[in-house]
Amino acid sequence: MQLQNKRWMWYLLPAQITAQGLSTVIPLYVIFLGGDIGEVAIISALQNGAIAIGSLAWGRIIDRFHSKRPILVLSFFFVLLCSLGMYFTSSVYILYGLAIVLGFFMVARSPVTQLLVMESVQKNLWSWLFARTSIISTLGMLVSMIIGTVGSFYFDLRPYFLICAVSSGIAMVLSTSVRGDGIQLERSSIAHSLHGLRYSISHHHFVFPKILEAYDFRHIIILFKGKISNEIGIFYLASFFFYFGSNMYFTAWTPFLKNQNFSNADVFLNYTIQMITMLLVFFIAPKIISRFGEERSTILAHIPRILAVMIPAISLLSMVGTLGFPVTITSSCLMVIAFSIFSTSSSVIFFKSIPQGFEGKYLGVNSAVTGVGIFAGSLVTGELTKIVGYAAMFLSASAILVVSLVLYQAYFRYKLSHNSLDVTG
């Protein structure tokens, strides 16, 4: 067995151009076709649900057949077809179906990428290669937003789907450099690697090394009975509320900007600046965590995210007319500053909390809880905004993030007291 050649990683650039491009242009296109926050929320929920199901399905396929290159080629081919389908359709209902197919096949590359990193270099270099792939992915996101910003001055939204189709085709060609005779690792290896786990959490990838049973969720279920069997249940619940509140914001953000009379170019520019901020914070986050520690950093990371969600809510309640670009970009950038720190610190804490021999089970439950939180955030946003408006919706999202903050503090306190009892006992 030989190590994989690292040339494969360049498929991440066009792949991420497509992924980020579609995630931005689909809500804009729904609004262009006459939809509103309700339709955007539905399409987001459908796609997120398909991503969760796809993560489970493709992971099991990978473990059984160890076929990375065919899965990558198939994934990029269907993403290409979905991009072309969206270019030719003018129906929101057809977009619903295409979004489900897109989510299911797009996520196929995620577990493959994680395993390819671990199969391409020695274990002591995993951190370096995961960091490098993260940078390439973020650059792809940035390029897609720059294309959208500039392109919006020359053409409408529809041709952007062709750009996504072309970039997915390029990714499909580049993915053929993946060899089939390299080291073969099981997907459960990701749960044994802090670097793999950190990459998974920071990129919103779900990892299900095993089929979960109701018993696997006992640490959460028992909390509703007023008992604590293991503090990890509090961690799961805190993560649920974190992603629930956060995704309410992200689902509403593009419709909100359009509601504030932002042009398509303004929306793309907002995300462009957000991507630049995320890339810069990527290099700073480890230093912040090193200085304050993982637990404190996780708590502190909530503050900019809560502020980010409250900014548009307070501005809407206190101002007449539309919000200015500086206000919205401040909110947008605070969101990614918070997540860059949170994803790194929380993944380290979670990794340390997993008992040896139960890595797959704990990682699967965490992925399930994260997925439900993201799905619920998308689903609730549309109807809630229609009933109470954007200001109240953002305030509700910030309140949910406060609940997450309180639960993380409870988790750290319980863990500290529990450890103290173990030592004294």
User: Residue holding tokens 């619920």?
Assistant: 376
pLDDT of residue 408: 94
How far CA 156 is from CA of 19, 28, 32, 257, in Å, comes to 19, 11, 10, 17
For the chain, the C-alpha Rg in angstroms (whole number) is: 21
Report which residue type is found at 422: D
Q: Cβ–Cβ contacts within 10 Å for residue 296, how many?
A: 14
Matching fold, domains 1-208 and 215-425: yes
pLDDT of residue 119: 80
- Cα 112 to chain centroid, rounded: 17
pLDDT of residue 208: 62
pLDDT of residue 181: 56
Report which residue type is found at 78: F
pLDDT of residue 359: 67
Which parts of the chain have pLDDT scores under 70? 1-5, 180-211, 319-322, 357, 359-360, 416, 418-425
pLDDT of residue 319: 66
Instruction: Tell me the whole-structure pTM to 2 decimals.
Output: 0.89
Q: Is 297 exposed, middle or buried (CB count within 10 Å of its CB: 0-12, 13-18, 19+)?
A: buried
Superfamily of domain 215-425: MFS general substrate transporter like domains (1.20.1250.20)
Report the C-alpha gap between 44 and 250 in whole angstroms: 10
pLDDT of residue 196: 65
Q: Cβ–Cβ contacts within 10 Å for residue 169, how many?
A: 17
Per-residue tokens: 138? 């973020």
Q: Cβ–Cβ contacts within 10 Å for residue 70, how many?
A: 13
Q: Which residues have CB under 8 Å from 125's CB, separation 6+?
A: none
Query: Which DSSP category does 222 fall into?
Result: G
Query: Which DSSP category does 2 fall into?
Result: B
φ, ψ of residue 80 in degrees (nearest 5): -60, -45
**DSSP string over 240-257:** HHHHHHHHHHHHHHHHHH
pLDDT of residue 425: 44
Query: Which DSSP category does 223 fall into?
Result: G
Give me the CATH code for the 1-208 domain, please.
1.20.1250.20
Per-residue tokens: 145? 């937003």
pLDDT of residue 12: 93
User: Beta partners for 182?
Assistant: 2
Per-residue tokens: 249? 């914001």
pLDDT of residue 281: 85
Contact indicator for 371, 334 with CB cutoff of 8 Å = no
Domain boundary assignment for the chain? 1-208, 215-425
Q: At what angle do helices 12-32 and 37-65 cross, to 10 degrees?
A: 150
Report the C-alpha gap between 37 and 386 in whole angstroms: 8
Report the C-alpha gap between 208 and 110 in whole angstroms: 12
Q: What b/e sequence results for 398-422 when a residue is b if at least 16 CB atoms lie within 10 Å of its CB, and e otherwise?
A: bebbbbbbebbbbbbebbeeeeeee
pLDDT of residue 350: 82
**DSSP string over 138-207:** HHHHHHHHHHHHHHTTTS-SHHHHHHHHHHHHHHHHHGGG--SSB----GGGGGG-HHHHHHHHHTT---
Helices vs. strands in the chain: H and E counts, helices first? 14, 0
